[in-house]
Amino acid sequence: MAIAEKKWKILPVLRETSEALQQQLSIHPILCQLLVSRGIDSYEKAKHYFRPSLERLHDPFLMKDMGKAVSRVLQAIEKKERILIYGDYDVDGTSSVALMYDFLCSIYDRSQIDYYIPNRYKEGYGLSKKGIEYAVEHQIDLLITLDCGIKSVDLIQSASESGIETIVCDHHLPGAELPAAVAILNAKQPDCPYPFKELCACGVAFKFVQALVSRLALTDDRHLNYLQLVATATAADIVPIIGENRLLAQLGIISVNVEPSVGIKALIEESQIKMPLSLSGMSFMIGPRINAAGRMDDAKKAVALFIEKDPQKARALASQLQTDNTSRKEADAQITEEAIAHLEADMHLSERKSLVVYNEHWHKGVIGIVASRLVERYYRPTIVLTKSGDLLAGSARSIPGFNIHEGLEHCSELLVGFGGHYFAAGMTLLPEKLESFQKQFEEAAARSLSAEQLIPEITIDAEVQLPDLVSSFYRILEQMEPFGPENLRPIFCVRRVKNCETRIVKEEHVRFDIEQRGTRMNGIAFGQAKKFLALGNAQHYDLVFTLDENTFRDQTSLQLKVIDFRAAS
């Protein structure tokens, strides 16, 4: 199946606003254009954007039920009650548990505090029946859920009937009915006046600890010790990098690069991660290693690493996570290769609006990653299935224009269960329903998606000229970090650059040597050798790229990281 050419969409220029901002900031007009497109349209907003300050953290007591949650924890400490901290097996869940556990251990008897991470395969996502049974068995008085619980109405009721009270700390959208917890910390719940709604769960845990520090009148600002964990979770959980999220991420990244915590330092050293780290570095280097624990083995190792104070013990735990990640990558690569081979053998592949692939031997822990890779390659809503007991378990990923959760609703009578949101979902079904499910899911995709929607689109922030790309321009671009959803790394377009000496390197990459208006630069397009060969060695190119620095033989220069290219007319 041929990979379709990508569409290029250049964002409109808000010229009047950009020019007004340029007069205030006296920086390159294109940089002002980038800021305006991100809602930064005044000097004051630019100051807050570029200069992080602790003073701009919101008062945690603005969050609904925060006073109740703080009072209930202090009551538990006063009455010497047993506390269980429960969180999910992903980065957000494990970092939240580590944050809350470490802080409570600093103000309360460690022997009265425990934590619990569910097994991905035996219990699944969220608060589990087995987790409640564990709490009852260990005579827990107060259960604190992190990154889950907002929809666990029945389970929290069951805990209450067993004499266990619950504080829910979550960031997922609430259902129609809220659980009967003593306090719910979730800015997305109805009537919550907290001004920022997009915190990850670790961010909610941080606000909880910030409130406890305030109520206890602790003078050492010990909640700031946890900014590195918040940045790690914010990077990995793909929340919008705006408002308080961006501020917490900025402060956390600064802290990591000045003096990483024992656990994060061990992971950096064990994995030979280059410093300084950016938020995207946290997302792509730290995040997968933490997630690998839950995918391949036991996510409790991630919590243990985050709370460890002994460098040698932390290094041993980091080594285990690195081994898990290596196993994850091997499984991911093998399954992706097998899935592609299966799809390419399908004579009707080019006609399909969706992809469903199945192999009973594929590892359940990586099928979500494989689904993402297939979407990247084929740009179709994709479901990857494997055997799980007597059922088939699947992970789904989608593209703009097709709500995968609604697509599964169309097939609900064929499914044992399903859940998720617009771009990602999971499901289970009986093996004998597979063929019918594949057909019905394809019908749902075909009804929703036009041929035009199956062509991937690159959104370009601005068109530039090579002479614009100087060190001072790049230094301000760097200050726009951390990048992430709603504050993405700027993507540029340059047209009709002269091809000086473009060639294939290491058989799969393309190295561009280009010139425009007297300025000569290099660029690299990773994994695009086939496209270059198909296109032919053109005299002039149009390029889409992000701007980066490259250091070679102690010489540092700006480099274009090429996303897409065409022969210029």
pLDDT in tens, 512-555: 999 999 999 999 999 999 999 988 888 999 999 999 988 877 78
Is 135 a domain residue? yes
In this predicted structure, the answer to whether residue 233 has a pLDDT above a threshold of 90 is yes
Q: At what angle do helices 300-307 and 262-271 cross, to 10 degrees?
A: 110
The answer to whether residue 476 sits within a structural domain is yes
> Which residue reads 């499984």 in tokens?
331
Assess if residue 128 is contained within a domain.
Answer: yes
| Shared domain check, 164 and 271 | yes
For residue 466, give the nearest of 414, 406, 512, 400 by alpha carbon: 512
Whether the CB-CB separation of 522 and 484 falls below 8 Å is answered with no
Into how many domains does the chain fold? 3
Do 251 and 353 lie in a common domain?
no
Alpha carbon distance 291, 90 (integer Å):
5
pLDDT value at residue 220: 74
* Any domain includes 359: yes
With respect to residue 237, please indicate whether it lies within any of the assigned structural domains. Answer: yes
Tens digit of each residue's pLDDT (9 = 90 or more) over 400-430? 999 999 999 999 999 998 887 888 888 999 9
Q: Are residues 298 and 187 in the same domain?
A: yes
Least confident of 33-47, 59-73, 264-278, 483-497: 264-278
Q: Considering only CA atoms, which of 386, 408, 382, 410 is closest in space to residue 396?
A: 382
Identify the helix (H) or strand (E) that includes residue 529: helix 529-535
Last residue of a domain, one of 425, 454, 483: 454
Closest C-alpha among 306, 296, 298, 211 to residue 263: 306
Give ∠ CA 99-101-102 in degrees, rounded to 5. Answer: 65
CATH assignment at residue 511: 2.40.50.460
Same domain, 142 and 269: yes
454, 488, 514 — which closes off a domain? 454
Place of tokens 């901002």: 21
Q: Looking at the structure, do residues 386 and 289 belong to the same domain, yes or no? A: no
Per the structure, the complete domain to which residue 237 belongs is given by 60-323
State whether 146 and 241 are in the same domain: yes
Single out the residue of 167, 121, 119, 122 nearest to residue 140, CA to CA. Answer: 167
**Both 462 and 507 in a single domain?**
yes
Residue 44 lies in a domain: no
Picking from 83, 50, 58, 51, the residue whose alpha carbon sits closest to that of residue 206 is 58
Kindly list the distances between the CA atom of residue 14 and the CA atoms of 11, 48, 544, in Å, as whole numbers in the listed order: 9, 21, 21
Please report where in the chains the tokens 């600064």 appear, as a residue.
254
d(CA 379, CA 150) in angstroms, rounded, equals 33
Within this chain, do residues 70 and 193 fall inside the same structural domain, yes or no?
yes
What is the band of 315 on the pLDDT scale with cuts at 50, 70, 90? Answer: very high
Amino acid 51 reads: R
pLDDT of residue 347: 87
Predicted pLDDT at 290: 94
- Same domain membership, residue 267 and residue 357: no
CATH code of 444's domain? 3.10.310.30
Dump the DSSP string for 466-506.
Answer: GGG--HHHHHHHHHTPSPBTTBPPP-EEEEEEEESS-EEET
Instruction: Choose one of 405, 432, 454: the last residue of a domain.
Output: 454
Read off the CATH number of the domain in which 215 is found. 3.90.1640.30
Say if residues 383 and 442 touch (Cβ distance below 8 Å). no
pLDDT in tens, 326-344: 999 999 999 999 999 999 9
What's the whole-number average pLDDT of the chain? 94
Q: Could you read off the pLDDT of 384-399 as tens digits, one per residue? A: 999 998 999 999 999 9
Which one-letter amino acid corresponds to residue 335?
A: I
Residue found by looking up tokens 């993402």 in the block: 372
In a domain, 339, yes or no: no
The sign of the CA dihedral 464, 453, 451, 563 is positive
Helix axes 287-296, 227-236, angle to 10 degrees: 70
The answer to whether residue 330 sits within a structural domain is no
> What is the residue whose two structure tokens read 């695009």?
528
Closest-CA residue to 224 (of 47, 69, 108, 53): 53
Average pLDDT estimate for 344-354: 91
Same domain, yes or no: 210 and 140? yes
Percent pLDDT > 70 in the chain is: 99
Residue-level pLDDT at 124: 79
From 409, 410, 369, 415, select the one nearest 392 (Cα to Cα). Answer: 415
- Taking the C-alpha atoms of residue 414 and residue 460, their distance in angstroms, rounded to an integer, is 41
The full DSSP string for 269-334 is: HHHT--SS--HHHIIIIIHHHHHHHHHHS-THHHHHHHH---HHHHHHHHHHHHHHHHHHHHHHHH
Same domain, 365 and 508: no
pLDDT confidence bin for 219, thresholds 50/70/90: confident
Query: In terms of domains, do 479 and 443 share one?
Result: no
2, pLDDT greater than 60 = no
* pLDDT tens track for 24-40: 999 999 999 999 999 99
pLDDT score of 421: 81
Contact 230, 210 (CB under 8 A): no
